[in-house]
Structure 1
Amino acid sequence: MACGICFALPELSLPQGNEYNLGRLEEGKIYARGFSIKNIGDDELKLKAVRVGCGCTTITYPKNKVRVLPNQAIEVKFTFNTEGMEGEHTKYIYIESNDPDEPIIKVKLICNVERQSAAVISRFLSFGLFTVLGAGLIDGFNPCAFTVLVFFISFLSFVGYRKLELLVLGAVFIFSVFVTYILIGIGLFKFIQSLEVFSLLSKIIYLGTAVLAIILGIYSLYDWYIYKKTGNPEEIKLKLPQFIKKKIQRIIQDTTRNRRRTLIDLAIAVFVSGFIVSLLESVCTGQTYVPTIAYVLKTSSLRGKAFFYLALYNLMFILPLVIIFLAALRGVTSEMFSKMARRHLQAVKLLTAALFFLLAFLLFIAK
């Protein structure tokens, strides 16, 4: 027993290892951090001093000698000042103790410091997922999108389709819209990517898209103002052209007027008409779609998952259509939808303007 006591020794351990990654930090700020020290030996560990290798690091605890009993731990606390720093940095903290094997242990601190302007840009770019989801949802509330669906459901009801037929054909129509926009998105992806071989042309495309987004944002603000002033939706600029609207209505009428066809035949016809209608409708809804796709492709953190974001965008795009479709099945009339659309048109226009300006900003700063 006495011999065992003679050989009892302290042993300093760093549970997190000898390297501490402080992560991505902003220049000009002071960060409070800490790491654990544990005595895994059989005797009392005496911390004689905890020293730093630069003036940017300040030990806040322990400032004096500390005793750590076997199997106990303490936390070394320090502050890290990033003033005047930029880029990757490596600093050290030195721990001096009575550990016979390692009387001085060096803890390596690693960090990447960004200037405040760069940090702000990084924060904006980190909103990628929410930007894409928000863009898809706002685009889905675009009057161009759901007025077509309302007309489709209303016409089916007028012709005399039963609820089951309405359910099937409406679902097929929405699915056709989803597939069509996915295909349009893939086509735009491939087109923009093919131009990236030519560096100057690629920059012009992205810059042009950003400028287009600004122009569309200004038009959206104009639409908000003019509708607020007049209350007449016909006065707004960003809308589906009348001749395209009539063309869409004619396609829907020609497709669904003949009720003598089987449900499968009707579903196929509705899918095809949904594809054509979506292509025509994209003249209006594509105003948001194109800048969003350009933003995804230009942002390196999003680019690798471009098709994933494309699918997310379009799922959010059809979400309002699904809600409207289900509401229509429950008896909500086209007149009620029209009133709701007019009541919220100002908010939609403001949100759309904000989205266009955000996409333009992100296109300018994305790398």
Structure 2
Amino acid sequence: MLKLKTRNKKKKNIKFLSFEFRVLDLFRVSDLGFRVFGRFVTFCFFILIASLNAWAAPEISLPAGREYDLGNLEEGELYQRAFTIANSGDKPLEVKVVRVGCGCTTILYPKKKLEIAAGGSIEARFSFNTEGMEGDETKYIYIESNDPETPLLKLKLTTQVQRKQSAAIKRFLSWGLLTVAGAGLIDGINPCAFTVLVFFISFLNFVGYRKRELLVLGIVFILAVFLTYILLGLGLFKFIQSLESFTLLSKIIYLGTASLAVILGIYSLYDWYIYRKTGNPEDVKLRLPDFIKRKIHKTIQGASRNKKKTLLELAGAVFLSGFIVSLLESVCTGQTYIPTIAYVFRDPGLRMHALGYLVLYNLMFILPLVIILIAGLAGVGSEAFSKLIRRHLGVVKLLTAALFFFLGILLFIAKG
């Protein structure tokens, strides 16, 4: 009985040991698989960590919004304002505040690229110059960053600018009318413009046109001159208007024009002195170059030589020639026109008045041409006109010099 129990116990021990060895053998056989599996798990872990790190990124935001209302401001003042730039992301944000297309805005801080920690923020400061502004104004500040979603953020600035009714503006309104009218009239009696129409009327008489045809073609020619100078003035107006956003450049242009006016005034005085001494109009400096004068004469002759054309065809040809001639003679007449336009449009608050002044200037400019046309129809010859020009050329040069000095001083005062 005892032997049987001992035998059975030995059999159980043998079975257990056999099972244990089989399990150990299984683990030995599968050891390679465990190693492969372990490496796979480690690889997946590192991929997960890398992915989480890749998802973390800086994120730029403006807590107050992307539109900044500066409120009601006064023209001609320098204001300082600030706004907050925040980093809503999980990584450091690199930012650089820049301004584009507006010389009225200057960034005070930050002046160079800086870093904002995750969850942090900075206060950016800028100055805003309202010189030359009026009414509703919209400007922009641009912010560069390393935010992958928003590398360039635009902050919109809006404001309502009220103009000051200064004594200078009131003076301009009171005597600006007389100044512009006088400038247009002096430019109109400028020999550059005067002699062109004299040649035109004389040539029509030479070809043999009747008075009715002379009247129609003369009016068409003068109308072409008037419209051409209006268009030139509007073009200059648009150019000056486009400079308003660039305060420094605008000031440089105005001061350059003022300097030009003073230089032309000196040349006009020189012409007066030389003409008084020699009596020869060819000795003056400020006149149409000979090659442009020949081109003008050729243009007029080509437009009106053919008498076989109908009056309507002649009028069209004369209108075109008047346009071309006006552009050519603007080399000379523009010497007065440009400083006057700069003077008229120097204050954006007077734009509506300035447009009226532009029309007034050109009406006064063509007034001497209308008088010449009427005198030509009455039988006054080109010799009489030539004598009139020679007799009063010195006075015209003195008046022109005074006008140049006056406009130059006004522009220096306005933008100095």
Same fold (TM over 0.5): yes
* 1:292-331 superposed matches below 5 A: 292-299=340-347, 302-331=350-379
* Counterpart AA for 2:283: E
Match in the other structure for 1:364: 412
Q: Deviations over 1:175-195 (max 9, x none)?
A: 000000000000111111112
Does 1:338 pair with 2:386? yes
Question: Counterparts of 1:258 and 1:144 in 2: how far apart (Å)?
Answer: 26
State the partner residue of 1:223: 271
What is the count of residue pairs matched by the alignment? 251
Deviations for 1:96-133, whole angstroms, at most 9, x for unmatched residues?
Answer: xxxxxxxxxxxxxxxxxxxxxx9799647742111100
2 CA distance for matches of 1:183 and 1:351?
Answer: 26
CA contact 1:125–1:366 (8 Å) conserved in 2? no
Determine the structure 1 residue equivalent to 2:301: 253
What's the C-alpha RMSD, in Å, of the aligned pairs?
1.8
The Cα of 1:196 is off from its aligned counterpart by 1.9
Aligned: 1:276 with 2:327: no
Gaps of 5+ in 1: 1-117
Alignment of 1:181-260 (within 5 A): 181-260=229-308
Aligned to 2:192: 144
Query: Quick one: which of 392, 397, 413 aligns to 1:349?
Result: 397
After TM superposition, list the pairs within 5 Å mapping 1:67-216 onto structure 2. Answer: 123=171, 126-216=174-264
- Report the Cα distance in structure 2 between the residues aligned to 1:302 and 1:332, rounded to whole angstroms: 42
Listed as ranges, the matches of 1:261-272 within 5 Å are 261-272=309-320
Q: Secondary structure at the match of 1:365?
A: helix
AA aligned to 1:177 is V
Question: Are the equivalent residues in 2 in contact too, given 1:248–1:277 (CA < 8 A)?
Answer: yes
1:22-37 to 2 correspondences below 5 Å: none
Contact 1:121/1:365 (8 A) holds in 2: no
Deviations 1:310-350 (A, max 9, x none): 00000000000000110011011100000000000011000
Mapped to 2, the partners of 1:124 and 1:215 lie a distance apart of 24
Alpha-carbon separation, structure 2, partners of 1:233 and 1:282: 19
Q: Secondary structure at the match of 2:345?
A: helix
- 1:270-326: CA deviations, max 9, x gaps? 001100000001000000000000001113564332211100000000000000110
Q: Residues 197, 301 of structure 1: CA spacing in aligned structure 2 closer, same or farther, 3 A cutoff?
A: closer
Determine the C-alpha separation between the residues in 1 that align with 2:169 and 2:357: 20
How far 1:265 sits from its partner (Å)? 0.3
CA distance in 1, matches of 2:193, 2:169: 32
Partner letter of residue 276 of structure 1? I
CA 182–121 in structure 1, closer or farther in 2 if over 3 Å, else same: closer
**Structure 1 or 2: more helix by fraction:** 2
User: Is the CA contact 1:220–1:349 (under 8 Å) kept in the aligned structure 2?
Assistant: yes
Q: d(CA) in 2 for partners of 1:325 and 1:263?
A: 18
1:5-16 paired onto structure 2 within 5 Å: none
Amino acid at match of 2:222: I
- TM (norm. structure 1) is 0.66
The 2-side partners of 1:129 and 1:320 are apart by: 19
Change (3 A) 1:234 1:360: same
- Return the alpha-carbon distance in structure 1 between the equivalents of residues 179 and 350 of structure 2: 11
Moved more, 343-352 or 297-306: 297-306
Residue 145 of structure 1 contacts residue 281 of structure 1 at CA under 8 Å; is this kept in 2? yes
Deviation per residue, 1:219-250 (Å, 9 max, x gap): 00000000000101100000000000000000
Structure 2: runs of 5+ lacking an equivalent: 1-165
Aligned counterparts of 2:377 and 2:364: Cα–Cα separation in 1:
21
Q: Deviations over 1:60-86 (max 9, x none)?
A: xxxxxxxxxxxxxxxxxxxxxxxxxxx
**Mapped partners of 1:349, 1:342: distance in 2:** 11
SS at match of 1:304: helix
| Structure 1 contact 135–292 (Cα < 8 Å) conserved | yes
Say which SS state the counterpart of residue 353 (structure 1) adopts.
helix
Percent of matched pairs sharing the same residue: 75
